């Protein structure tokens, strides 16, 4: 079990550079091309797709799990993501709670809630796509 936990955290750690690159792409390329109103939701969709692709690509490394195991893995990734977001945002980026919580409001075009849902479900979805679970 400790090896599975370690592998799960290593895979989750790959979310961080993906998120940073996605944010850079949004700010440096998408916003100047299409404006922030469209760039923000497009970036959210891209992040969700990349996280699902990461899960799909790394599942064989984890080995077979039960359907509940894939759901638990997704829940773990979700918890790590939210903890990282708030700890990094508060302690390193010095962001206020209002700014951090703004990402959870989809009315401004931010699809962060969809990204989090995708993170939570991606191991299970990826296992289904690979035919590992019925």
| pLDDT of 1 strictly over 80 | no
Residue 26 and residue 130 in contact, taking contact as beta carbons nearer than 8 Å = no
Give residue-wise pLDDT tens across range 92-102: 999 999 999 99
30-68 per-position pLDDT tens digit: 999 999 999 999 999 999 999 999 999 999 999 999 999
pTM here?
Answer: 0.93
Domain range summary for the chain, segments of one domain joined by +: 2-129
Q: Burial level of 72, CB count in 10 A (0-12/13-18/19+)? A: middle
* pLDDT at residue 134, as a whole number: 84
Are the beta carbons of 95 and 89 closer than 8 angstroms? yes
């Amino acid at each position: 079990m400790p090896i599975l936990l370690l592998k799960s955290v290593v895979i989750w750690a790959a979310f961080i550079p993906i998120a940073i690159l996605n944010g850079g792409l949004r700010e440096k390329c998408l916003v100047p091309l299409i404006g922030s109103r469209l760039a923000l939701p497009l970036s959210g969709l891209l992040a969700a797709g990349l996280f699902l692709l990461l899960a799909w690509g790394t599942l064989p490394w984890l080995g077979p799990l039960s359907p509940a195991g894939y759901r638990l893995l997704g829940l773990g990734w979700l918890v790590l993501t939210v903890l990282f977001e708030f700890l990094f945002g508060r302690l390193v980026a010095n962001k206020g709670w209002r700014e951090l919580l703004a990402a959870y409001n989809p009315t401004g075009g931010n699809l962060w809630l969809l990204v989090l849902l995708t993170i939570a479900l991606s191991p299970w979805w990826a296992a289904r796509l690979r035919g590992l679970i019925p």
